[in-house]
Structure 1
Amino acid sequence: MSNDIRHNWTREEIYDIYNMPLLELVFRAAELHRKYNDTAEVQVCTLLSIKTGGCSEDCAYCPQAARYSTGVDVQALMKKDEVLAYAQKAKDAGSTRFCMGAAWREVRDNRDFDRVLDMVKGVNEMGMEVCCTLGMLTEDQAKKLADAGLYAYNHNLDTSKEHYGEIITTRTYEDRLNTLDNVRKAGVTVCCGGIIGLGETHEDRIGMLHTLATMPEHPESVPINSLVAIKGTPLENNTKVDVWDMVRMIATARILMPKTMVRLSAGRTEMSISDQALCFMAGANSIFAGDKLLTTPNPSFDEDNQMFQLLGLQPRKAFKEESKQYLRDMVEA
């Protein structure tokens, strides 16, 4: 194993990396990014809310929490045909990963879960990497999703363990980690990151990265979100995160987890192409594309296509890691 791929990072080491002079930090991250990834490739993902609003959780940033008055209408679980039509549209526009999100506290073994399993099968048959974010999962539920063809499961830590209780009180940090363990046991890849701009300190950001980078296996995908402050939520008056903070987080994540897909996620509507280019240079190699991220605005497919052309980027192919492994197996055979 390369010395670059480590799981024993200390907080002190991460503190020193995070607090490097910014240009030096970006340079070091870009070096590692070029060493382990194709820097011309960006994974394009699309996120669809298949069941919106009415969630019993109290996540302070989320417009879908039932207890906040944010203007988000509660909508029942979408029909499979509608979801597959949306997935096809995303695929035609260049997305290779399709993520379905449901505003649930946890998955329940009922007819709705059976319908989601059917959706997973349908999207998988389209040749797209299929991802879900459905709340907490048992090991058995994770296995059912895997059997249906689920490629990735998103379950974000959001922030550090120390700051977590300030943002969410309806479930614990351990609940989050247990779900991630269940996903791993089922053989599904892990998508796990967080949000900056929640009122956390720089130490909290370092703490969240420490948790991710010291997992026995690094998450295959780490989304870095900038808070989109929504009227009606407890964080509606939080100040916008500076782009340099996003660059610093992305660069640090890239150094700590060189092979991971680092996703430039929520907050891109507030970023110029120059801002996003800096994030790509610092190691971001994945974005969400499409007009919405669940219920928050996002740049359109056309805007992203123009940016890709300008920066000389191209969408990463679906199942690239599996294709590489297949070729290696063929050579060894």
Structure 2
Amino acid sequence: MSMWKEMALKVMEGNQISKEEALNILNSSDKDLLEVLQGAYLIRHHYYGNKVKLNMIVNTKSGLCPENCGYCSQSSISTAPIKKYRMMDKEEILKGAERAYQLNVGTYCIVASGRGPSYNEVEQVVSAVKDIKDKYNLKVCACLGILKPDQARKLKEAGVDRYNHNLNTSENHHENITTSHSYQDRVNTVELIKETGISPCSGVIVGMKETKEDVVDMAFSLNAIDADSIPVNFLHAIDGTPLEGTHELNPRYCLKVLALMRFVNPTKEIRISGGREVNLRSLQPLGLYAANSIFVGDYLTTAGQESTADHQMLEDLGFEIEFIKETTQA
């Protein structure tokens, strides 16, 4: 029995791997890659079988952000030529929900740039969410930045199922990525979401000049805050941002990162997110032996793979889409 299979069986018995064991995953030889993935797949299959959850983003507000996050084309220090617009109206958000419904997407993610939403923006999202629930019965995830307690309560009352606020990187590396908010600000937002009764979604961006030890710390931090859903983004370096020209990743390392996340967070939804296409490239299908969720369609300011290609990939793997519930839509 390989050491990776043995480690997977221990995880499935309820044991947590050590940080040293986690680092061994990232440092493993490429010749052991399939065995590492087999271990991750044993855990993934134990909790999720071969089901895959589909998610889709709508970028409801683009650019105009006062923060200085080094990876983001929408930040105040970015010179990337992106579309910039204020909050979409409800009808546009509903059009995105209809598209998500047609693609058998289970979770529709309403994302807006900025440090945090205004009260008017929260009201716009609340109004849209109520209609989305009535018409499509989609699970709704909101990602609006740092929230105030009363804003979180309004989103909960409207029917928001999940709220995303990524840790993005390790506490140790955070100041190298942004100084306009603290790492603790991010943790506090996730804790507020949990207190409000909304399912917490929090993940990372890998490839931002962090160390392997930082990646291990990210995985254990997400375990500590008990995030239900963990989006794993791989940096898609955008010209005009401070991380422009950064290309540290290769597909094999990305697969090891996904395996690490599964070993450390065995019962959680691990979602392959932004940068999937440019970093995993031809090895994208292998990522789903560790992860059980992907985004379909485009991301915030970068294009994704054609949704038909995603559906074909899942069919070729023999995996099943976790379909949305039947509705009484006319």
TM-score, normalised by the number of residues in structure 2: 0.89
Partner of residue 144 from structure 1, selected from 144, 154, 162: 154
- Cα distance change, pair 169–238 in 1 and its aligned pair in 2 (3 A): same
Structure 2: distance between partners of 1:305 and 1:271: 19
Per-residue CA shift, 1:156-202, capped at 9, x if unaligned? 11111101100010000000000000000011111111111101111
- Which residue number corresponds to residue 35 of structure 2? 24
- Which residue number corresponds to residue 305 of structure 2? 299
Matches within 5 A, 1:173-192: 173-192=183-202
Q: What SS does structure 1 have at the residue aligned with 2:140? A: strand
* Contact 1:124–1:150 (CA under 8 A) maintained in structure 2: no
Matches within 5 A, 1:265-280: 265-270=273-278, 274-280=282-288
Is structure 2 residue 90 aligned with structure 1 residue 74? no
Structure 1: distance between partners of 2:13 and 2:185: 27
Instruction: Judge which range, 14-23 or 228-237, deviates more.
Output: 14-23
Is structure 2 residue 298 aligned with structure 1 residue 287? no
Q: What SS does structure 2 have at the residue aligned with 1:137? A: coil
- Cα distance change, pair 133–7 in 1 and its aligned pair in 2 (3 A): farther
How far apart are residue 13 of structure 1 and its match? 4.1
TM-score, normalised by the number of residues in structure 1: 0.88
Structure 1: distance between partners of 2:14 and 2:199: 18
- Which residue number corresponds to residue 229 of structure 1? 237
Matches within 5 A, 1:202-217: 202-215=212-225
- Which residue number corresponds to residue 177 of structure 2? 167
- Which residue number corresponds to residue 58 of structure 1? 68
Instruction: Judge which range, 267-276 or 133-142, deviates more.
Output: 267-276
- Cα distance change, pair 271–302 in 1 and its aligned pair in 2 (3 A): farther
- Which residue number corresponds to residue 245 of structure 1? 253
Partner of residue 220 from structure 1, selected from 223, 228, 235: 228
- Which residue number corresponds to residue 331 of structure 1? none
Count of aligned pairs between the two proteins: 313
How far apart are residue 5 of structure 1 and its match? 7.5
* Contact 1:5–1:256 (CA under 8 A) maintained in structure 2: no
Amino acid paired to 1:83: I
Amino acid paired to 2:296: A
* Contact 2:56–2:107 (CA under 8 A) maintained in structure 1: yes
Structure 2 gap segments, 5+ residues each: 1-9, 326-330
Partner of residue 119 from structure 1, selected from 125, 128, 135: 128
Structure 2: distance between partners of 1:26 and 1:207: 20
- Which residue number corresponds to residue 49 of structure 1? 59
Q: What SS does structure 2 have at the residue aligned with 1:296? A: coil
Q: What SS does structure 2 have at the residue aligned with 1:57? A: coil
* Contact 2:269–2:293 (CA under 8 A) maintained in structure 1: yes
Q: What SS does structure 2 have at the residue aligned with 1:306? A: helix
Is structure 2 residue 317 aligned with structure 1 residue 311? yes
* Contact 2:69–2:177 (CA under 8 A) maintained in structure 1: yes
Amino acid paired to 1:84: L
Q: What SS does structure 2 have at the residue aligned with 1:31? A: helix
After superposition, the CA RMSD in angstroms is 2.1
Per-residue CA shift, 1:188-223, capped at 9, x if unaligned? 1111111111011111111111111223xx211111
Is structure 2 residue 48 aligned with structure 1 residue 37? yes
* Contact 1:18–1:25 (CA under 8 A) maintained in structure 2: no
Amino acid paired to 2:302: T
Structure 1: distance between partners of 2:209 and 2:116: 26
Amino acid paired to 1:288: F
- Which residue number corresponds to residue 207 of structure 2? 197
* Contact 1:158–1:193 (CA under 8 A) maintained in structure 2: yes
* Contact 2:113–2:145 (CA under 8 A) maintained in structure 1: yes
- Which residue number corresponds to residue 329 of structure 1? none
Structure 1 gap segments, 5+ residues each: 320-333
